[in-house]
Amino acid sequence: MSLSRRDFVNRSTMLGAGVLIAGSAEVLATAPGAIAAPAGGDAAVDAAAAKGGHTAVGYGELVSDPEGILALPKGFSYEIITHSGKTTLVTGESTPSNHDGTAAFEGRHGATLLVNNHELAGPRSKWAHPVPLLEGYVYDPAAAGGCTVVEVSGHGKGHGRDDEHGKGHGHGRREVREWVGIAGTATNCAGGATPWGTWLTCEETEDKAGTNGFTKDHGYVFEVDPQDQAANRDPQPIKAFGRFAHEAVVVDEKRGHAYLTEDASKPNGLLYRWTPPAGFKHGKGRLRTLAADAGAFEALKAFDAQGKLVDDLSRATKPGTTYGADWVKVQDRDARTTSIRKQFKDGEITRARKLEGMWWGDNGIYFVSSFAREESPLQHDGQVWFYNPARRTLTLKVILGVNNDIWADHGNFDGPDNITVSPHGGLIIAEDGNGLQHLFGATTDGRTYALARNELNNGTAEAPEYSEFTGVTFSHDGRTLFANIQEPGIMLAITGPWHRM
């Protein structure tokens, strides 16, 4: 039974304001410099250390890469799967650039199928390696973005960090094939995997036909099937999911709702929920059959333990903070004259800066607010929230304080973006911050750790620039973590002793 607003307020009053009323009160993760440490978090670590207990987390220090691509812990190795400008599609064109959101699916004979977004904004002429316009798979021939499908077979042996026996991990070399899944879309940022084995790719733009030479409106979600290329012909937007600067989407595998994040500002973006119409059944290709106004499309309205509206999620500064959730109807989901987030007045909904990655796990939804600055009531360098759809509660799991040392390599993380739930426990998060860029993990006992560091300098020695990580996702067997370096566009397969945490 869902928790009503009245029940939430009454129970919170009985238990005390700010007390987590459902589920575990443990904090998923905090980072050095966190705005608010969890109760008992640091004390527990110190107590364990005093008793001689094990306090290290993660897989050890990162070892610099002689190839200048990826620093990893000892015992781990990586292999380059695709590299824009160097690898090619089965049709002969270059792998498109600007890799972003990605999900992995089980293919035939043990292969892994990955659908990889390419975040290419504006006209095609702007990009050296746009997504090729494969006939029959194009939405708008003027747009540069889209998705490729990457088939990876075998278990590779790449650039490694020697283990205790002086040998890298992995056997043989992976075989890779890549083809266009959808073309002619714009700014394909994140998205989400569906319970029925497809990928929902999201356009992070509000450009209409006529802008940048576009022939069609953009700002939609499209479905891409990695298993059935024929299903991707004649791509159609899922207009029922609204038109806005989409970031990511997650489908509740039990109830059928879709949750969507918006990365926009002035004013800050919103978290949305789509409820299927009565009698609708999910499945491959079913979403494209929906009418543009099908189902209920709503925006989040969070409230605290006293029943007071929470106007912006940045106001939560303590891990474990829990809010109740109401949902408010969107009047014009296709935003014909006014952007959706601008259709609401202050006091009607809850906003958040840079709502980014989402992932389904633990019977709920993890989603990210990447940072908050002057557009928000309070500042931070990252939040991870967990929405429990059964109880309609929203809990702050991770909060990163403002990072004042962007070149520190000892846990000063900022700008969480793409996110995945690890089959080995906790979360793996892609960093899109300032200075150094990491893949970092968040454990269930309140600590974070570096998993990888981008060492590919796109700038100069005097003014280094490191691209963000994107597209973190594990293979179906949990043996390989795939991740991207967005610029120039490199997909990596990371393997190692995951059990060694």
pLDDT, one tens digit per residue, over 402-411 is: 877 777 766 6
Buried b (16+ CB within 10 A) or exposed e, 279-311: ebeeeeeebbebeeebbbbbbbbbbbbeeeebb
pLDDT digits over 53-94, tens only?
445 788 999 999 999 999 999 999 999 999 999 999 999 999
Q: What is the pLDDT of residue 156?
A: 59
CA dist 239 and 219 (Å) reads 9
CA Rg value for the chain: 22
Residue with tokens 């926009």: 264
Task: Mark 78-91 as b/e (b = at least 16 C-beta within 10 Å).
Answer: bbbbbbbeebebee
The arithmetic mean of pLDDT across residues 19-48, rounded, is 34
Report pLDDT for 54.
41
User: Per residue in 202-230, pLDDT tens?
Assistant: 999 999 999 999 999 999 999 999 999 99
pLDDT the model gives residue 448:
83
Q: Which domain holds residue 46?
A: 5-156+172-500
- pLDDT at 231 > cutoff 80: yes
| Number of domains making up the chain | 1
Least confident of 152-166, 237-251, 317-331, 478-492: 152-166
For residue 30, pLDDT beyond 60? no
Q: What was the pLDDT predicted at 411?
A: 65
Q: Three-class SS of residue 70? A: strand
Residue 448 lies in a domain: yes
Q: Residue 422 above 90 pLDDT?
A: yes
What percent of the chain is modeled with pLDDT above 90?
77
Enter the tokens of residue 274: 């789509």
pLDDT tens-digit map of 375-389: 999 999 999 999 999
Per-residue pLDDT reduced to its tens digit, 106-126? 999 999 999 999 999 999 999
Put simply, whether the predicted model's pTM sits higher than 0.85 gets the answer yes
Side-chain half-sphere CA neighbours of 203 within 13 A: 33
Q: Quick one: how many helices (H) and strands (E) in the chain?
A: 2, 27
Among the listed residues 500, 451, 386, 484, the one whose alpha carbon sits nearest the alpha carbon of residue 104: 484
Within 10 angstroms of residue 458's Cβ, the number of other Cβ atoms is 12
- If you average pLDDT over residues 482-487, what whole number do you get? 98
Task: Please give the pLDDT value at position 55.
Answer: 52
Can you tell me the distance from the alpha carbon of 8 to that of 122, in angstroms, rounded to the nearest whole number? 45
Asked if residue 429 is part of any domain, the answer here is yes
Give the whole-angstrom CA distance, residue 427 versus residue 423: 9
Residue 297 lies in a domain: yes
Beta bridge partners of 495: 77
Length of the chain, please? Answer: 501
Whether 265 maps to a domain, the answer reads: yes
CATH number of the domain that 101 lies in?
2.120.10.30
CB 143 within 8 A of CB 214: yes
Each residue's pLDDT tens digit, 258-305:
999 999 999 999 999 999 999 999 999 999 999 999 999 999 999 999
| Tokens (6 digits) for 348 | 């009607």
Average pLDDT, stretch 312-324? 96
Residue 137 lies in a domain: yes
**What pLDDT is recorded for position 447?**
76
Hey, what amino acid is at 491? Answer: M
On whether residue 164 sits in a domain, the answer given is no
Q: Calculate what percentage of the chain has a pLDDT beyond 70.
A: 84
Residue 165 in any domain: the answer is no
Distances (CA, A) of 147 to 99, 144, 240, 419: 9, 10, 21, 19
Tens-digit pLDDT profile for residues 337-363: 999 999 999 999 999 999 999 999 999
Question: Taking Cα atoms as reference points, which of 355, 402, 377, 434 lies closest to residue 31?
Answer: 402
Average pLDDT rounded to a whole number, residues 318-326: 95
Question: What residues contact residue 80 under an 8 Å CB cut-off, 6+ apart?
Answer: 69, 158, 490, 491, 492
Beta-bridge partner residues of 421: 427
Q: Is 359 helix (H, G, I), strand (E, B) or coil?
A: strand
